[in-house]
Amino acid sequence: MNAMLYTIMLDAGHGGADPGAAYEGRQEKDDNLRLALAVGNILENNGIHVLYTRTGDVYQTPFEKAAIANRSGADFFISFHRNSSPQANQYQGVEVLVYDKSGIKYEMAQNIVGALGELGFREIGVKERPGLVVLRRTKMPALLIETGFINSVEDNRLFDEKFNEIAQAIADAILGTLDEKTVEEPLYYRVQTGAFRNREYADRMLYQLEDQGFPAFLLQQDGMYKVQVGAYQEIGNAINMEQRLRDAGYSTLIVTK
């Protein structure tokens, strides 16, 4: 398998004004982001092209998260969450949610649950949740990982004490699943409008492009924040988009995934 063929969008659930579940001062949004970044770092070191819905404490609706993933042309969407129950220490364990129990996402979900179970988490299993926006609206295989209950003292102990092992286990389960997938991936052409060391400049260009109706997204690569538009299998479509962007005043470059 050539891992470079894969682009994975990692989503840290909640953020900004939406803390997610909370327990004794601990906020789900923080645990989610920390784990998403740690897993992303391991995947990148293994040749996966990693994108994030957020890398800071910002609020996005589930619809926005799905739209970001769809614009990116990613091959997989993986959302990080922590579970919660009505009463503290009522439940514990890990589960992975999927739209339906079919295809490579189901296989990957089972592998993640099993890998986390080996670290001492109770395995709740894989569940179908077709009503969840981030699973329903995403155009690529999507999973939502519930990494233990935030109001379980035991799950929090595991999350904190074995944090690096948890990140490694999730990344290994993802990579192991992809290893078994030998289907040839299509090549995508994208139009790049800027590459910045400063995130703020990249965000400014991204918002400007989105305001003008372009399907733009941001990716972090080689220490740069790159602003790109579209994902086309036909070079002609990328050239047409490049012309539209040049007409709108952008200097452009066609790149491949």
C-alpha 76/C-alpha 74 separation (Å) is 6
Q: Which amino acid is at 63?
A: F
Q: Which of 146, 185, 234, 242 is catalytic?
A: 146
Q: Name residues whose C-beta falls within 8 Å of residue 111's C-beta, 6 or more positions apart in sequence.
A: 173, 174, 176, 177
Instruction: Count Cβ atoms below 10 Å from residue 236 Cβ, excluding itself.
Output: 9
* Amino acid, res. 192: Q
163's tokens: 């944090």
Largest CA distance in the chain: 59
Element (H, E) at 127: strand 123-128
Give the residue among 38, 50, 74, 8 at the shortest CA–CA distance from 170: 38
Q: Which two tokens stand for residue 88?
A: 């503290």
118 tagged catalytic: no
The type of residue at 110 is: Q
Active-site annotation, residues: 146
